[in-house]
């Protein structure tokens, strides 16, 4: 091996020994994985399924992974979880992974994957507002400007979708995805303390198991037990969205937040909307307009301002 190769190898191993750089890598990979969710959903819609159906397959195929990992975790760390923590984990699981996911997949039926990712990525603005409401933290003028920049970007991306993406329910889809962003922000605001008390893996597994059960019950009420009549391609997509877009990123992002904090996580996760734009263009053949690119840049700029300012002034939890 050349000296250059040895230097690169040494730098890589040094980086992997640092919790901060591990956290950066985990969040980066998690954001890329999460960005594939809308792509998988759009592929499934081509076979006639709706948002609830593909969400159910996602949770059904993901559920065994979380159960197995949780059992192994209890075998190595059998410390009990107090009653109040149980109540909070269940509540957050229903908010962050059931409601947020349901709103997201319902919205994806009506908006492009790129617009969906732009709207979802406004969750730091809601974290900012909720931090003010729950923790009485001051909102600075620069952060208000950042919020305005974010929503200007969304309006541009929305207008681009309206001009080029055929959907008679574009506003309905936008509202659903916005609700997903709000519920995910609430989950983030309330989860920090619980993760420290319960542990990253146990918190993630239990909250995901709760959400999986909630989605399955929802599906049974709406569609009954008719879940074995889809084309085989839909089940393959379901496996893909369960493993690539759910199991992997849920642990990567949670572990990343543990190592680098939620503010740094928001900055690094900026890669998500960009990845979705390229993937939707490459795989789904969705058009990318100039307005869409400008809107995405504005959303990312606003989120970065909020995240950096929040990191300095401890605005976000």
**pLDDT at position 281 over 70:** yes
Question: Which of 2-16, 97-111, 117-131, 153-167 has maximum average pLDDT?
Answer: 97-111
- Higher pLDDT among residues 197 and 107, named by residue: 107
* Assigned domain for 207 exists: yes
Residue 313, pLDDT score = 35
Tell me which residue of 313, 37, 315 sits closest to 189, measured CA to CA: 315
Give yes or no for residue 193 having a pLDDT over 60.
Answer: yes
pLDDT exceeds 90 at position 289: no
Q: What is the pLDDT of residue 310?
A: 53
Query: Taking all residues of the chain, what is their mean pLDDT, rounded to a whole number?
Result: 81
Q: In this structure, what is the dihedral angle of CA atoms 46, 104, 290, 268, given to the nearest 10 degrees?
A: -120
Residue 8 counted as domain residue = no
Q: Residue 302 is part of which domain span? A: 27-313
Q: What are the pLDDT digits (tens) for 209-255?
A: 999 999 999 999 998 888 888 999 999 999 999 999 999 988 888 78
Q: Is 26 exposed, middle or buried (0-12, 13-18, 19+ CB in 10 A)?
A: buried
Global pTM reads 0.81
Q: Answer whether residue 4 is part of any domain.
A: no
Tell me if 6 is assigned to some domain: no
Flag whether 47 is in a domain: yes
Instruction: Determine, yes or no, domain membership for 142.
Output: yes
301: in domain? yes
Does residue 6 have a pLDDT over 60?
A: no
Of 197-201, 231-235, 260-264, 280-284, the poorest mean pLDDT is in 260-264
- For residue 195, being part of any structural domain is answered with yes
* Structural domains of the chain, count: 1
Sign of the four-CA dihedral 221, 67, 240, 289: positive
pLDDT given at position 102: 94
């Amino acid at each position: 091996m050349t000296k250059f190769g040895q230097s690169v190898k040494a730098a890589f191993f040094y980086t992997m020994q640092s919790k901060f750089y591990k956290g950066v890598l985990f969040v980066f990979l998690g954001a890329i994985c999460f960005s594939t969710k809308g792509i998988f959903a759009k592929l499934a819609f081509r076979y006639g399924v709706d948002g609830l159906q593909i969400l159910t397959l996602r949770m059904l195929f993901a559920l065994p992974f979380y159960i197995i990992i949780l059992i192994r975790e209890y075998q190595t760390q059998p410390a009990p979880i107090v009653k109040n923590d149980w109540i909070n984990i269940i509540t957050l699981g229903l908010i962050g992974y059931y409601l947020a996911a349901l709103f997201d997949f319902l919205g994806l039926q009506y908006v492009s994957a790129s617009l969906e990712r732009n709207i979802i990525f406004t969750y730091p603005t809601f974290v900012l507002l909720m931090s003010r409401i729950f923790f009485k933290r001051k909102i600075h003028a620069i952060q208000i400007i950042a919020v305005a920049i974010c929503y200007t970007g969304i309006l541009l991306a929305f207008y681009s979708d309206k001009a080029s993406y055929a959907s008679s329910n574009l506003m309905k889809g936008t509202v659903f995805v916005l609700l997903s962003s709000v519920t995910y922000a609430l989950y983030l605001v309330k989860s920090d303390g619980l993760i420290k008390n319960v542990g990253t893996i146990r918190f993630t597994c239990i909250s995901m198991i709760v959400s999986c059960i909630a989605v399955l019950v929802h599906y049974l009420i709406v569609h009954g037990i008719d879940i074995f009549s889809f084309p085989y391609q839909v089940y393959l997509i379901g496996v893909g969205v369960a493993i690539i877009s759910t199991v992997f990123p849920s642990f990567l992002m949670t572990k990343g937040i543990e190592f680098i904090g939620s503010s740094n996580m928001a900055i690094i996760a900026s890669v998500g909307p960009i990845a979705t734009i390229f993937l939707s263009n490459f795989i789904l053949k969705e058009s990318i307009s100039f307005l869409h690119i400008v809107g995405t840049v504005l959303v990312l700029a606003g989120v970065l301002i909020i995240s950096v300012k929040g990191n300095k002034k401890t605005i976000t939890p």
